[in-house]
A and B are shown apart, each in its own frame.
Chain A
C-alpha cells in the first residue's frame, strides 16, 4: 500500500481535534438546491476518496441526519444519501483488504469532540464497515436510510 497523508475536509472545529496519520474524513458541506453545487460537492468527495481507495486507507463521511431524511432541502438530501450509498459500495470493494468505509450521521448540535471520537473509531481496522452510525437519537422511529 502507498503511504499518503490523511485527507481531512471538515468544519474547523472537527479538523482541529482529529489526530490521524492516514485515512479520509470528508464532511458534507451545506449546499442549496442548484444542481451544479450538488454535483461539485459529490465530485469533491470522489476526488478526496479515490486516492485513499488506491492507497487502501479507511474512509469516513460525515453527513447530517436531517439531510438523510430530506428535511433540509433537495440539495443536502442528495449529497447525504449519495455519500451513504457510495460508502456502502466502496466498503464492498475494499472489504477483502480489511479497509473500513463508514458514514457518521450527526445533528446540528452534536459536540465536535463527540464527533471526532466516533470518526476515529469508525476508521479503525477490524471494526464495522459499510455502516451508518447516527449520533443523537432523533433518527429513532424514522425511515431507515
Chain B
C-alpha cells in the first residue's frame, strides 16, 4: 500500500498537497492541529484514498509518536513537512517567545518527525520540506526566515545522509493565495502582486503539483535542492 504523510493538511497549501497526493497514493496520514482537518480528510476519503487524520501538536513528543503510530507497519513512500506558523515583527520588536514558537513548529517539528520516521521510509521514497521564499530574506520575519533557512539546511544534510535510499528536497513558495496571504493588508498585498512577473498570487494547486513530483519516484535523481515557486518574484 503506497503511503504518504502531509503535515499542516487542514487548509491552504497543505490541503492542496493532500488532495494532489491522493491521486498517487493509496493511504494518507494527514496531520494538523486545526479541527478543519476532519473536513479535508472526509473530502479526500470520499475519492477512494484511505485517510488517517491525526489532530496533534507536532512540537510535542506525543504528537510525533501519534504520527509514527499511524504509519504503523506500512513503509512510507512520501513525507511532506508543510506545517508552519508566522509571528511577524521586526527583530527590534520581536518577543523571545514568538521567536522560539516559530522555530519549534517550522524547523523543530520536521526535524524530529523525520528522525522518528527514519526506519519507515521505502526504497525510493521522497521527502519534501516546505520552506519559503523568505529563506532569501524578508523584512519583519527574522524568526520565520531563520526557520525556513534552517529547513533548507536540514534538507541538504538529509539528502546526503539518506541517499541513495531516499531523496529529499525543499520547496520555497512565494506569495500563494492562502489564509496566510489574505492576512496581509490589501494595499501591501496588491503591491507585492504588482512586483511578481506572473502578475498573480500562486494557487495552492501550483505548489501541490511540484510537491507531488518531488515526493514521488519520478524525481528520484533530484535531491538536496530548494525549488522556488514564486512566479518570478525572487528576481524582481
Contact = CB atoms under 8 A, between A and B. Distances in A.
A139 interface: no
B166 interface: no
- Of the listed residues A42, A47, A145, the one surrounded by the most CB atoms of chain B closer than 10 A to its CB is A42
Interface stretch (B33-41, B77-85, B157-165, B185-193): B157-165
User: Interface size bucket, B side?
Assistant: 35 or more
B32 interface: no
A94 B3 CA distance: 46
Nearest to B131: A85
B108 interface: yes
A121 interface: no
* Chain A interface helix/strand/loop/mixed: helix
Interface residues of A, number: 41
Nearest to B152: A81
A88 B145 contact: yes
A38 B150 CA distance: 10
A25 interface: no
A93 B135 contact: no
A118 interface: no
A47 B103 CA distance: 14
Interface stretch (A3-11, A15-23, A70-78, A109-117): A70-78
B222 interface: no
Given A70-B156, A93-B140, A130-B137, A82 B149 contact: yes
Given A35-B112, A143-B224, A93 B149 contact: no
Interface in A6-52: 33, 35, 38-39, 42-43, 46-47, 49-50
B91 A93 contact: yes
A60 B42 CA distance: 50
A39 B225 CA distance: 23
Interface in B58-108: 90-92, 94, 96, 99-100, 103-104, 107-108
B49 interface: no
A85 B224 contact: no
A85 B135 contact: yes
A62 interface: no
Most chain A CB atoms below 10 A, which of B104, B112, B139, B154: B154
Interface of A: 33, 35, 38-39, 42-43, 46-47, 49-50, 53-54, 67-74, 76-93, 130, 143, 145
The 8 closest A-B pairs by CB, nearest first: A85-B149, A88-B137, A70-B156, A81-B153, A70-B157, A77-B153, A82-B150, A86-B146
